[in-house]
Structure 1
């Protein structure tokens, strides 16, 4: 399960171009970090009520209005639990994208936990699938109606996870769902039912992702030095032809 993300500067308009969506309104600039943790503001892409894409920030930890303790807000939601858990009942109707440049996972080794970064094989940004909701702003007595400029209180979200593909499975059995460009518009649309939206999600194609080790300094959430997120070993990718492993 994804505990942390790598979010470098990226061109959000260019990222959305293959999806067919127009350039988004930038309500809040992209929040970047080489080692981004849950329980912090995070940049998401969602549609306004007018149906236009918008980049804004939200709390990473799904927080329904009835949740009293924010430290119990889940930062990830299993795809197979969206229909059964009350925590996700409303949020599954409200979806978002989380633009990232990498996903950290950990493998326990004899010498301790080794962090790895999962990226696109050509290091392009990834669009992760999320569900979102709002919780009351303690500074407001009532929750205003949602609009592109005035959300209903404070927005929060969780990433959706599903089974890893065969490349990532030896490192982690689950990974955040990655949306292909042709699925993005349907995923975000308010007219798409939760069942239709969930049907869009499946493990990433085997040849789409790569994984490489990074410095163990990344184990500390306080580590915010970009160079420590650089590869310290070759990228592993899916086997090709008769190869048992391809490294870049």
Structure 2
């Protein structure tokens, strides 16, 4: 499960996709669900950057606390709100890390899961239009989660699916069928992700210092 995200400035990284900015990018060292952040989605011929509420909120949902912030890849067909979004409204959530926690004798230790070379991660998401009682409609989204690899499993049994840079166009394209989109969702390659321990301050989302995401120990990586 993804309960907290690290979003540093991914926009200038050479592996980031080209996009047109509708809203300014949102950055945070410790971003929790039920907050606003940036998503990339397709509009006509462009990939655009928009603000979105982290919690999938279709027009009929009245209680924001019931908005799911994650959707299991294996059960996307079980709920119409997920199935329809996978067919018509796929998005990417650019981040620089995902926080997970490992239980220990002194309580839970937070870790930051990142790309092993610290490049941005493009997380698979589905979006919907959020229609508040007051104000203009806005986007909302949920992350699609998959089982984790051996390195991450002791800390979390699930993580958001990562879309490879070479498959971004396929994931966002309206021409990609739901079956083809499902084929793009799966656990990350073993070599892709590592995790290092960070400050326990990250346990409280009120802490917004960038030091929250600084390593306090070595990165764990997969070795053959």
Fold conserved between structures, TM > 0.5: yes
Q: Report the secondary structure of 1:91's partner residue.
A: helix
Structure 2 match to 1:127: 122
Q: TM-score, normalised by structure 1?
A: 0.86
Does residue 86 in structure 1 map to residue 89 in structure 2?
A: no
Does residue 218 in structure 1 map to residue 213 in structure 2?
A: no
Name the count of aligned residue pairs.
223
Q: Report the secondary structure of 2:168's partner residue.
A: helix
Q: TM-score, normalised by structure 2?
A: 0.95
Does residue 227 in structure 1 map to residue 193 in structure 2?
A: no
Does residue 46 in structure 1 map to residue 41 in structure 2?
A: yes
Q: Are the equivalent residues in 1 in contact too, given 2:13–2:119 (CA < 8 A)?
A: no
Q: Are the equivalent residues in 1 in contact too, given 2:40–2:50 (CA < 8 A)?
A: yes
Segments of structure 2 that go 5 or more residues without pairing to the other structure are none
What is the alpha-carbon root mean square deviation over aligned residues? 1.5
Q: Report the secondary structure of 1:14's partner residue.
A: coil
Segments of structure 1 that go 5 or more residues without pairing to the other structure are 18-22, 144-152, 241-248
Structure 2 match to 1:101: 96
Mean Cα deviation higher: 63-72 or 190-199 = 190-199
Structure 2 match to 1:146: none
Distance in 1 between the 2:155 and 2:16 partners? 30
Does residue 200 in structure 1 map to residue 158 in structure 2?
A: no
Q: Are the equivalent residues in 2 in contact too, given 1:12–1:24 (CA < 8 A)?
A: no
1:7-156 equivalences under 5 Å are: 7-11=7-11, 14-17=14-17, 23-48=18-43, 50-93=44-87, 94-139=89-134, 153-156=137-140
